Homo-oligomer: A and B are copies of this chain.
């Protein structure tokens, strides 16, 4: 993890050196606050790793990495308003600490700042970077809208769910890596491969997040087991269960979900899931996307030692065992 930690440090330093003006304070103070809340900084590091993979000096990709981190934070700021989330990384969200108007507007300006960062890259790469970035940004918005729509719907298919998480979270990982490849003048084919690696890994880890919510070792996990069940979230676990269930079993699932007591509810739902083999089926789904991603990385014809840090990152992300 040493090299990865070094990259994270570089991103953190760059974030501190932001060129936000002092005034208007109500526009820029919230951004200085939010960008310093921490986070794993995985997305911008992916851009640096994408450049490293194709033997480019990673520092050349720093503005694009910042564009990714700014975009990610823009989307978090606006999502927090939409989700009425009081906390982000255990600190007050912008719309809570200031107000919703300030959160809307500072989010807006951060999105523009992302483009401004991207424009610092060599102009010969600009068109390609923008094309990937625009498409990705639109997809992330579409994914967020799908997620909001799903809350109002009764029936969602697994395919729809996977498409939602692909758009809402995974395409940005692909974009971040492809930025590094573009800046390194990688071929179109290799750009597609590294994008596919990021996107599929993103889907796999998102599925893993759903699994962890219910099946994590509660001591290691560090938050309440079954939170998604308690809040009636339509996770891939539930959708898989409903696919595998016959009519009687479906009724049993809905009965379990209907329980009032949270501990009894989690226990009853887990019991239904166990009967249907949901955990195993979802693990298989996760591994399907995981292997798609790994395969795409393996297909890139470059010396294996260049891939070292990307594999290290996967190990880091996988260490939270289901």
Contacts and interface: CB of A to CB of B under 8 A. Distances in A.
Interface of A: 24, 26-27, 78, 81-82, 100-102, 104-105, 107-109, 111-113, 115-116, 119, 123, 126-127, 130-131, 134, 137-138, 141-142, 144-146, 148-149
Contacts of A100: 100
A102 B134 CA distance: 20
B134 A127 contact: no
A147 to B, nearest CB: 10
A68 to B, nearest CB: 15
Contacts of A116: 134, 138
Contacts of A130: 115, 119, 126, 130
Contacts of A24: 142, 145-146, 149
A134 B105 contact: no
B119 A134 contact: yes
Most buried by B among A100, A130, A131: A130
Given A26-B145, A26-B148, A142-B27, A105 B78 contact: yes
Contacts of A78: 104-105, 108
Contact of A145 (B105, B138, B144): B105
A105 B119 contact: no
A139 to B, nearest CB: 10
A105 B131 contact: no
B27 A101 contact: no
A104 B101 contact: no
A137 B107 CA distance: 13
Nearest to A148: B101
A148 B24 CA distance: 10
A315 to B, nearest CB: 34
A105 B127 contact: no
Given A24-B142, A24-B149, A115-B115, 17 more contacts: A24-B145, A26-B148, A78-B105, A100-B100, A101-B148, A102-B145, A102-B148, A105-B144, A105-B145, A105-B148, A107-B108, A109-B141, A112-B137, A113-B138, A115-B134, A116-B138, A119-B127
A21 B139 CA distance: 11
A274 to B, nearest CB: 35
A111 B149 CA distance: 21
B119 A104 contact: no
A134 to B, nearest CB: 5
Contacts of A105: 78, 82, 141, 144-145, 148
A90 to B, nearest CB: 24
Contacts of A138: 109, 112-113, 116
A117 B259 CA distance: 51
